[in-house]
Structure 1
């Protein structure tokens, strides 16, 4: 009888350990992202799923950015989730967008409207 309880305790402990290990990715910290240059910046605030773009240079040109969404499960596709720009007015512009977990993947991009190189984050997911 004691052996049965010991085995039951060992199995129960192993099951609880596996549950804790498999649940831990859901507890991952928020991952904010920022792309910037001398003309402005674009930031993603992961805790509230808000993207913000700011034109910080009074040079007559704005800044633009967006989010590309790639779905990698089932029927795969890539689409522009949204575009956003700022310039010519006071303050920054914001947009809310629900970034989801795998198999959804995203890349945020930012560019000065006067030319130059487009900046991209690495692909990410919630």
Structure 2
């Protein structure tokens, strides 16, 4: 999922790796948060940040069964734009 060429986040199913990359050398990074979906909103599971270097950052989290999740990526400035993914699950 791309954030207007500022960066992206992706889920790599093999190993349940969540990769976030800052792709714009503007002095600000990006951060991505994995949420577990609930009817009252999302519950943050983990947040991954990237910026200031030439490599992407990642974390792993085991996506299980039919539990629904979504990702949000934001530009790391106050009031910075964000984008959300659709819901996804393992099955």
Query: What interval of TM-score do these two structures reach, taking the shorter chain for normalisation?
Result: 0.7 to 0.9
Higher helix share: 1
The corresponding residue for 2:73 is: 110
The corresponding residue for 1:86 is: 50
Q: CA deviation at 1:56?
A: 1.0
Higher strand share: 2
Which structure has the higher relative contact order (CA within 8 Å, separation 6+)?
A: 2
Structure 1: 5+ residue runs without aligned partners? 1-33
Count of matched residue positions in the alignment of Structure 1 and Structure 2: 89
Structure 2: 5+ residue runs without aligned partners? none
TM-score normalised by structure 2 residue count? 0.84
Q: Is 1:99 aligned with 2:66? A: no
TM-score normalised by structure 1 residue count? 0.62
